[in-house]
Structure 1
Amino acid sequence: MILCCGESLIDMLPRTASTGEPSFAPVAGGAVFNTAIAIGRLGAPSGYLGGISTDLFGTVLAEALTASRVDFSLAPRSDRPTTLAFVTLTDGHAQYAFYDESTAGRMLSEDDLPALGAETEALFFGGISLVSEPAADSYAALCAQAGERLVMIDPNIRPGFITDEPRYRARLEAMLARADIVKISDEDMAWLSTTPAALIEGGVALVLETRGAEGVVAYSAGGEISVPAERAEVVDTVGAGDTFNAGLLAGLWRSGLLARGSVRGAALEDLRPAIALGAKAAAVTVSRAGANPPWETEL
């Protein structure tokens, strides 16, 4: 199982009411949640770990996970509220306003962390769940306990959401040092003052730099390769990076490479099919509104 560890929330997406007035539609989302959903839809064994509320919106999240074949039996439930993210779109690019105080997801503690069994082959971390305590510290602790499991991280840094920058930087740097795979944007690298070469020197086996319509550049100690983006009519980019992450991990699973040693021992050309699956799946997501990853049959 690929266990996705991090936030789930309700995206309040901008819509126009039948009266012509602006409105918002509640849709299940969150970067890590979206990745878990996409992995399940792509036919790979998907799991989700994060605090889920028992409120109305928490029920929506749980039903969405079930519908996309995601195992969330490790996710603790509580009566705390669900995180809300109000989304605005500018030229198809999303900006977010988060309402996250004392929510079920944010208040995940180290005591809530499960003991991981052999069925958990890989761990995925990322998004805003790595920012706010206590959940951020809980995920960092789980990452440190990963053992020989494959670890992938997508920092997906949102500077406007960070309140304690030194603490966040220290946490993220420690997690990146443990990661086997890092997917990162040029904005993330600029904020971290790092490069793919520096990440590899720090111990990462595979760095994936996403470049939107220009595709993905993959780096390892053995060199680099470019994988083109799939052509698509872009409706919006919500969930595109999350779907890419899912496609990569699902592709590694399909190829029999979903293991720390396998990724570290593979040539970049061996990893190309998994990277290409990520790009292909992401192209479907950007072609329709919201984070709506494709099913395996759509590819």
Structure 2
Amino acid sequence: MPPANPVLCVLGELVVDLLPVPEAGAGPEGTAPQYVARPGGNALNVAVAAGRLGAPVHLLARLGTGPLAPHLRRHAELAGVDTTGFVAAAEPVSLAVVGLDADGSPQYGFHVLGAADWQWTDDELAAALPAAVGALHVGSISSWTEPGSAAIAHLVARLSGTALISVDPNIRPMLADGPVGASLGNDRAGVTRRLVELVAHADLVKLSAEDLAWLEPETTDLDEAARRWAARGPALVVLTDGGAPLRIARPGRPVLHRESPRVDVVDTVGAGDSLAAGLLTGLLDAGITTRASLEAASDEELLALADDAALVAALNCTRVGADPPTRDELAAARERR
């Protein structure tokens, strides 16, 4: 039986994104580019986006030290996110320096060694978890970086079957493999193994073509990949591919395609997180908080939810950084479609 007054629980990292300010220049010698510090990270972005859309959201995060930490908490609170699940951590806050390609897609440089986000313990998570969890969203760096990834996997296994489990791999190749990944204890085999374990318990998986390019470099057919991931256990797989149509896969059914809204893109930071939040909020609004109710949902219901989620992501892309729309802004944009 689903819990009374179920909430969306989001578990993951808090990251300060340093975003370039191109119009500010780089000083007379070209060596002093200017950046603005913005709250970010997969979990924070998803929680804030869902909060702005009106969902009851409980964010589980380890809030590290440093002068920017209070701003991360405040950013969540302004969106109506419940931050009582924050753990005061002794380790530093994670930092990402962001560069933007010509199409607005981000490139990241990470400063995360010894950061707070991947130090979860079983006891910390047990104490932070609310009583009425309708859906649990996990993913990104904290879900595949030890030692905290093991505690996250234990929690996912414990809640599987009682709450919707949502997983977003959100691979960051620099942190998942190579010299920087190795400094965190990560390599391709370990990260893949941890994600396989999470996906085995997942009801919903949202992943990107970029995730697939790293996880399965030999994959070229995205329809076939979506079908294969759906056959691994999730009741629903949503595969994004930039501005190309979404792929929506369910076990034993044809892959569905849905066009993404066309907007003037400023940048795509936080787009995938906004889409995940839009989808999860829509599921909760529709009362879909169990595996059985997700499996029983019609294609038409899920396509309508996917359309809204894609619109949330598109609106985010019209603004600098991860800045998702409110519920009223989404409603207004829906009317204009």
* TM tier, smaller: over 0.9
1:76-155 mapped onto 2 (5 Å cutoff): 76-91=87-102, 92-115=104-127, 116-147=129-160, 148-155=162-169
| Number of residue pairs matched by the alignment | 299
SS at match of 1:160: helix
Give CA-to-partner distance per residue, 1:88-145, whole Å, 9 cap, x none: 1111110111111222222222231125444111100111212322222222222111
Q: Is the 8 A contact 2:142 2:149 kept in 1?
A: yes
- Per the alignment, residue 283 of structure 1 pairs with 314
Rounded Cα–Cα distance in structure 2 between residues aligned with 1:43 and 1:150: 19
- Per the alignment, residue 169 of structure 1 pairs with 192
- Per the alignment, residue 259 of structure 2 pairs with 228
Tell me the amino acid that sits aligned with residue 324 of structure 2. P
Q: Is the 8 A contact 1:126 1:153 kept in 2?
A: yes
Tell me the amino acid that sits aligned with residue 214 of structure 2. W
TM-score for both structures, normalised by structure 1? 0.94
Larger displacement relative to structure 2 (110-119 or 276-285) = 110-119
Rounded Cα–Cα distance in structure 2 between residues aligned with 1:280 and 1:61: 25
Give CA-to-partner distance per residue, 1:129-168, whole Å, 9 cap, x none: 1232222222222211113210111111122211322221
SS at match of 1:133: coil
Cα RMSD for the two superposed structures = 1.7
- Displacement, 1:17? 7.3
- Per the alignment, residue 238 of structure 2 pairs with 208
% identity of equivalent residues? 36
Rounded Cα–Cα distance in structure 2 between residues aligned with 1:145 and 1:262: 19
Rounded Cα–Cα distance in structure 1 between residues aligned with 2:52 and 2:74: 14
- Per the alignment, residue 63 of structure 1 pairs with 74
TM-score for both structures, normalised by structure 2? 0.84
- Displacement, 1:283? 0.9
Q: Is the 8 A contact 2:58 2:130 kept in 1?
A: no
* Structure 1 spans left out of the alignment, 5+ residues: none
SS at match of 1:188: helix
Rounded Cα–Cα distance in structure 2 between residues aligned with 1:208 and 1:52: 30
Rounded Cα–Cα distance in structure 1 between residues aligned with 2:278 and 2:265: 18
Change (3 A) 1:266 1:19: closer
